[in-house]
Structure 1
């Protein structure tokens, strides 16, 4: 497989000479947050995290994401946390895009480099630290775990993009592949976070319309994405939110591969308590 590269934010501010034009969109069925909007003035901080800043890409909000939150994390040398999660019901996926993240889950130590992937179950004892001289960047996806009586909670695990064999989508001649870090038939998991790869010229040849909500962070390349009634240009570093049932398709029109980290909620009954 071709060696992977992953976009990481640089922060900073655009110059005063920059024109006020952008691809940022917030619609009823989708949102596009271009990488250029993630400047120094929109960073956030978290309790018990030192030498750390983050960009919030998604959060549960009326008219926006309903099932998850997603952060771009930046840990300076010595940064991190021994108390990273304040919600005991939250599960997490971490995906490293740059640097070396020192991760401890229930006493087991791991070092995750670019492409490293970790699943942290709810209630786990874990910590995340940058013990190197280089800045660490990772995507942090959080979801409130939906416990089901008679179904065990998932175990923590650590792997990497390069260690999981991608699955070719049927009839695509290996031009559209999905790297699945969790067995789709494992009903302990109520979310999947995968990496999707398109070779240049590959397409999603129909408008997908389904119950799963998506968060989509572009790791590499560029494409045009069909979102509801619109075709939108996207590139590495952009984030897309897609509401459940939002029609979606893709054409990878760039000179290189188009890859993204994809969140979706799975394997649970639809809530009948209130509409979202």
Structure 2
């Protein structure tokens, strides 16, 4: 079985001898948040979480992420929460990149290590605890669930990337593949969190322009991304936010695979409120 690598931020501060300039960019169409910005002084804290800090790398904001929030959580041994989610309408996805944790849903405990994935529907009443001896670091992506009459709410999903076969994109000879934890035809889900893998030298060969809002966290490797009118270099630990319809393409830089955790909103009508006449 192939060993996967997952980048996890550790915080700290740069030395006083380092330059101020970095690759951070914030535009109307996209944002790049390099791993070097995830320092001790940029962490946040949450109610009802103990021995925990986090980096907020996306949040609903005018001109920024509109449909979701994305946290990188760091929980010390013994830490966690008995009331992690305070919004009853929020669904969540957890993805573990370092350490191990126990998440309990409906009285059943699930142990999760690196590569661990959990989908947690609204009002699932989950709890989380770091039962190990080392810090655990994981992604927590949240989105307000858009219920549809006639469709039931999705069930809890707990899985690991190692147990999910990537699906190659057609006509790419397996050089570009997506690891999907949710069946794309299951319309109960209104967001997908997947892992995209591009082998060294592979390309996303055209300028994608489409309706989904994207959040991309680079788990492994490096690449060059075309975002709107700009080419940007990214590497493991960097984060990109792409507004809906932002043109995008990329080259995988090598020498190993280029892999990222991808969020996008799916399977729902477009709200018409902004253009609806009074």
TM-score by length of 1: 0.99
- Find the aligned partners of 1:132 and 1:14 in 2 and give their Cα distance: 29
- Find the aligned partners of 1:229 and 1:166 in 2 and give their Cα distance: 31
- 1:18 corresponds to which residue? 18
Matches within 5 A, 1:211-226: 211-226=211-226
Conserved 8 A contact 2:70-2:142 = yes
Unaligned runs of 5+ in 2: none
The Cα offsets for residues 200-246 of structure 1, whole Å up to 9 and x where unpaired, read as 00000000000000000000000000100111000000010000000
- 2:246 corresponds to which residue? 246
The 3-state SS of whatever aligns with 1:41 is helix
- The Cα shift of 1:45 comes to 0.3
- 2:146 corresponds to which residue? 146
- 2:209 corresponds to which residue? 209
The 3-state SS of whatever aligns with 1:274 is helix
- 2:27 corresponds to which residue? 27
- Find the aligned partners of 2:274 and 2:138 in 1 and give their Cα distance: 33
The 3-state SS of whatever aligns with 2:22 is coil
- Find the aligned partners of 2:106 and 2:25 in 1 and give their Cα distance: 41
**Range with greater deviation from structure 2 (101-110 or 191-200):** 101-110
- 2:53 corresponds to which residue? 53
Matches within 5 A, 1:11-160: 11-160=11-160
The Cα offsets for residues 86-123 of structure 1, whole Å up to 9 and x where unpaired, read as 00000000000011111101111100000000000001
The 3-state SS of whatever aligns with 2:274 is coil
- Find the aligned partners of 2:160 and 2:57 in 1 and give their Cα distance: 23
- Find the aligned partners of 2:254 and 2:205 in 1 and give their Cα distance: 17
- 1:257 corresponds to which residue? 257
The Cα offsets for residues 63-106 of structure 1, whole Å up to 9 and x where unpaired, read as 00000000000000111001000000000000000111111011
- 1:184 corresponds to which residue? 184
- Find the aligned partners of 2:108 and 2:117 in 1 and give their Cα distance: 15
The 3-state SS of whatever aligns with 2:85 is coil
- Find the aligned partners of 1:65 and 1:41 in 2 and give their Cα distance: 22
The Cα offsets for residues 111-169 of structure 1, whole Å up to 9 and x where unpaired, read as 00000000000011110110111100000000000000111000001001111010000
- The Cα shift of 1:21 comes to 1.1
- The Cα shift of 1:273 comes to 1.4
**What is the Cα-based RMSD across aligned positions, in Å?**
0.7
TM-score by length of 2: 0.98
Q: Which runs of 4+ in 1 moved over 2 A?
A: none
- 1:196 corresponds to which residue? 196
- The Cα shift of 1:10 comes to 1.1
Conserved 8 A contact 2:42-2:55 = yes
- Find the aligned partners of 2:74 and 2:253 in 1 and give their Cα distance: 30
